[in-house]
């Protein structure tokens, strides 16, 4: 049993250890990054470079760069166009279960939060997927709470197999697992794995994650490597901005992705850019220090540092921000989102939501918006091999 | 005499191969018409979508050149090519194999392996490659109908960074050399044609232009100009300055 007393930096039994120096490199890069230490000149120099190095990325996340948002956005738009043209991929998340064994004090799904728990059976999953496929979407992101007991690997595998009947692209946002499990889920049709590290500050991480397997920091941080070793095509990275110093966490997120790409050059890289949202039964979780300008700065810095990476913009953000960011740097947008359990096919969801969403527009509304913005909605640009 | 060129038994007059990615589907038809293109590439992974089918936007009579983008090794490229033929996309296939998501540079070794398998299966294989003479010879021996060396990394619009090496392929390989990737401006396409390339392929340069059909037209004109210049025999270009005032061979007269 992993509790508040468990050393969060030590692997537990039954956790695969990969031979990797990446965690140490990320943590030491984060440690030495001082967001106040950069000048306007550093920012301008970074903006003029063709290929950015970690120091340039750091400059773009610095306090000094906050007054160069317009130039950053222009450069970001240029790079996005070069690598992605005017394509914007569309997808929707599907929560199939919300049982969770972790105690993360900021999360609505945490095991001590009194919410309605539920898990969809195969028939219900199929019904949900039919309802989603009918909207024209061809990419789905499957999510569970983090309970290997209530939603084990074979349960997720079955969900992937059903998804394969209705969708071209299957992504996973589930609890971290071993590479053999990823290999199995890949054989079931999944090819993309996203895991949020939440914060890359181990001390803060310890205070926020009081129990459950998620408390073990290195096992979570090395998830992307295990997924790639398991044969997964692409991996996603994110810090939940606002949990700790967002500039440092964004820098660590980028460095993590950068180092993984160097070690696994064939792996496709993606970023998500979540900010903390209000949750049920906890009014204090509502930090406001990462406002839209700061979020924009982080997204543009990711884009310029790794111009080929996908960037997903979730429905946690409002329509004003989302409609513009897809023309600047984001390459993927969620639509027709319901973060409860069973809400796509039933009027009344079986289980409660993880957080409140801001942009509740339908698939059709998002599609129309993308076209209106002069962009091109793309349902699938992927082939399972 | 008509200036034509061949890929296998297929004859073409246009020397402009147009990419169809990175821009809105309804614009493809206009771009093809303005480019005068007879061959259009498409990513099979895009053509697989259920809802909006890219194939519906490609005018009839245009030869499809499906590519294997998304393949990370020879085996995956072969699977995608077979799927492409099964989907009715024809026998042409542009083999693209990338093991690097950052620069998307082609893997010549895996590309030669896939080319050999697919050529034996009757595909007309057009491999995208890094301009290396030995690899180009391997591709020729493996049964490719053309060789497509890159000018610069895909989407970079940096032009003919690998000019000298492409020239070697043009001089040494008895297959059409098609410059692919990196061409950012009509002037660069023109330059490739002046060098003796059989054709030029472009996508990002057109897809990211302010006026897509107009840019397609500009490329068409540049490619034609370059081709005409090549056929006319380029005049002498003095690269090392004018003749010396006291000739080195003057002693012969003494």
Q: Minimal CA–CA distance to B43: which of A381, A10, A19, A349?
A: A381
CA distances from B165 to B196, B203, B220 (A): 13, 22, 24
Of the listed ranges A253-257, A332-336, A358-362, the one predicted with least confidence: A358-362
**CA distance to partner chain A, nearest, from residue B208 (Å):** 6
Any B CB within 8 A of A284 CB: no
Of the listed ranges A72-81, A283-292, B71-80, B165-174, the one predicted with least confidence: A283-292
- CB pairs A-B closer than 8 Å: 78
When scoring A90, A165, A327, A383 by the number of chain B Cβ atoms within 10 A, the one with the most, hence best to mutate, is A383
Nearest Cβ partner of B208 from A85, A138, A308?
A85
pLDDT, tens digit, 9 for 90 and up, residues A163-220? 999 999 999 999 999 999 999 999 999 999 999 999 999 999 999 999 999 999 999 9
Contacts of residue A42, Cβ cutoff 8 Å, sequence gap at least 6: A59, A62, A64
The pLDDT confidence band at residue A272, using thresholds 50, 70 and 90, is very high
Q: What is the pTM of this model?
A: 0.90
In a domain, B171, yes or no: yes
Q: In this structure, what DSSP letter does residue B54 have?
A: G
pLDDT, tens digit, 9 for 90 and up, residues A62-109? 999 999 999 999 999 999 999 999 999 999 999 999 899 889 888 888
In a domain, A7, yes or no: no
Split into its structural domains, chain A has a count of 1
In a domain, A10, yes or no: no
Model pLDDT, residue A55: 97
In a domain, B71, yes or no: yes
Judged against a pLDDT cut of 80, whether residue B2 lies above it is answered with: yes
The pLDDT confidence band at residue B242, using thresholds 50, 70 and 90, is low
Active site (annotated) includes residue B94:
yes
In 10 A of CB A206, how many CB atoms? 17
The pLDDT confidence band at residue A282, using thresholds 50, 70 and 90, is low
Domain of residue B135, residue span: 10-233
State the CATH number of the domain containing residue B58. Answer: 3.20.20.70
Model pLDDT, residue B157: 82
Q: Minimal CA–CA distance to A129: which of A149, A88, A158?
A: A158
The pLDDT confidence band at residue B246, using thresholds 50, 70 and 90, is confident
Model pLDDT, residue B53: 75
In a domain, B180, yes or no: yes
A261 contacts B101? CB cut-off 8 A: yes
Domain of residue A125, residue span: 22-378
Cα A9–chain centre separation: 22
* Catalytic hit among B6, B94, B163, B240: B94
What average pLDDT is seen over chain A?
Answer: 93
pLDDT, tens digit, 9 for 90 and up, residues B54-94? 778 888 888 989 999 999 999 999 999 999 998 888 999 99
Judged against a pLDDT cut of 70, whether residue A278 lies above it is answered with: no
Model pLDDT, residue A286: 53
State the CATH number of the domain containing residue A364. Answer: 3.20.20.70
Split into its structural domains, chain B has a count of 1
Q: Which residues of B touch A (CB under 8 A)?
A: 21-25, 43-46, 48-52, 70-72, 76, 79-80, 83, 98-102, 104, 155-157, 204, 207-208
In a domain, A77, yes or no: yes
CA distances from A347 to A140, A251, A338, A357, A365 (A): 20, 42, 11, 17, 20
Work out the average pLDDT over A289-315: 95
Judged against a pLDDT cut of 60, whether residue A284 lies above it is answered with: no
Model pLDDT, residue B51: 67
Alpha carbons B126 and B128: distance in angstroms, whole number: 7
In a domain, A13, yes or no: no
Token output for A31: 């440690």
Any B CB within 8 A of A235 CB: no
Whether the predicted interface score ipTM is above 0.95: no
Nearest CA in chain B to A383: B45
């Amino acid at each position: 049993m992993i509790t508040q007393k468990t050393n969060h930096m030590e692997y537990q039994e039954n956790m695969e250890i990969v031979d990797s120096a990446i965690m140490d490199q990320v943590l030491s890069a984060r440690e030495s990054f001082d967001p106040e230490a950069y000048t306007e000149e550093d920012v301008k120099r970074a903006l003029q470079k063709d290929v950015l190095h970690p120091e340039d990325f750091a400059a773009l996340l610095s306090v000094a760069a906050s007054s160069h948002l317009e130039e950053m956005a222009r450069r970001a738009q240029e790079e996005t166009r070069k690598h992605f043209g005017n394509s914007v991929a569309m997808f929707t998340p599907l929560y199939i279960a919300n049982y969770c064994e972790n105690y993360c004090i900021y999360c609505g799904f945490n095991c001590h939060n009194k919410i309605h728990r539920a898990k969809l059976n195969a028939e219900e999953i199929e019904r949900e997927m039919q309802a989603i496929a009918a909207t024209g979407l061809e990419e789905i992101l499957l999510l569970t709470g983090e309970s290997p007991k209530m939603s084990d690997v074979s349960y997720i595998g079955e969900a992937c197999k059903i998804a394969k009947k209705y969708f071209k692209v299957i992504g996973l946002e589930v609890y971290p697992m071993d590479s053999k499990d990823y290999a199995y889920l890949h054989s079931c049709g999944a090819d993309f794995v996203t895991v949020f590290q939440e914060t890359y500050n181990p001390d803060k991480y310890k205070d926020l994650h009081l129990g459950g397997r998620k408390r073990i920091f290195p096992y979570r941080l090395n998830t992307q490597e295990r997924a790639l070793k398991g044969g997964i095509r692409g991996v996603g990275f994110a810090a939940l901005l606002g949990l700790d110093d967002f500039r440092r966490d964004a820098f660590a997120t980028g460095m993590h992705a950068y180092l993984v790409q160097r070690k696994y050059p064939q792996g496709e890289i993606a970023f998500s850019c979540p900010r903390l949202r209000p949750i049920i039964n906890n009014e204090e979780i509502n930090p406001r220090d990462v406002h839209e300008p700061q979020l924009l700065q982080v997204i543009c810095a990711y884009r310029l540092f790794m111009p080929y990476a996908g960037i997903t913009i979730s429905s946690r953000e409002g329509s004003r921000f989302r409609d513009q960011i897809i023309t600047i740097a984001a390459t993927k947008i969620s639509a027709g989102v319901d973060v409860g359990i069973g809400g796509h096919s039933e009027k009344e969801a079986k289980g409660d939501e993880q957080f409140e969403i801001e942009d509740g527009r339908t698939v059709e509304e998002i599609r129309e918006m993308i076209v209106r913005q002069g962009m091109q909605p793309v349902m699938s640009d992927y082939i399972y091999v | 005499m008509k200036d034509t060129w061949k890929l296998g038994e297929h004859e073409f007059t246009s020397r402009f191969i147009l990419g169809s990615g990175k821009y809105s589907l309804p614009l493809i038809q206009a771009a093809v018409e303005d480019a005068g293109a007879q061959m259009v590439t498409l990513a099979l992974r895009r053509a697989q979508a259920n809802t909006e089918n890219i194939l519906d936007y490609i005018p009839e009579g245009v030869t499809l050149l499906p590519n294997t983008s998304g393949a990370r090794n020879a085996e995956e490229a072969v699977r995608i090519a077979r799927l492409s033929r099964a989907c009715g996309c024809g026998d042409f296939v542009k083999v693209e194999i990338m093991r690097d998501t950052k620069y998307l540079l082609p893997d010549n070794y895996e590309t030669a392996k896939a080319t050999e398998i697919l050529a034996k299966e009757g595909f007309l294989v057009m491999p995208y490659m890094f301009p290396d003479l030995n690899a180009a010879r391997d591709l020729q021996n493996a049964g490719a109908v053309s060789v497509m060396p890159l000018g610069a990394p895909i989407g970079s619009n940096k032009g003919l960074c690998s000019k000298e090496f492409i020239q070697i392929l043009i001089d040494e390989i008895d297959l059409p050399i098609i410059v692919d990737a990196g061409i950012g401006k009509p002037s660069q396409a023109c330059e490739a044609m002046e060098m003796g390339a059989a054709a030029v392929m472009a996508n990002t340069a057109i897809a990211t232009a302010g006026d897509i059909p107009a840019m397609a037209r500009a490329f068409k004109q540049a490619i034609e100009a370059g081709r005409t210049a090549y056929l006319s025999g380029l005049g002498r270009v003095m690269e090392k300055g004018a003749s010396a005032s006291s000739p080195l061979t003057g002693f012969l007269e003494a």
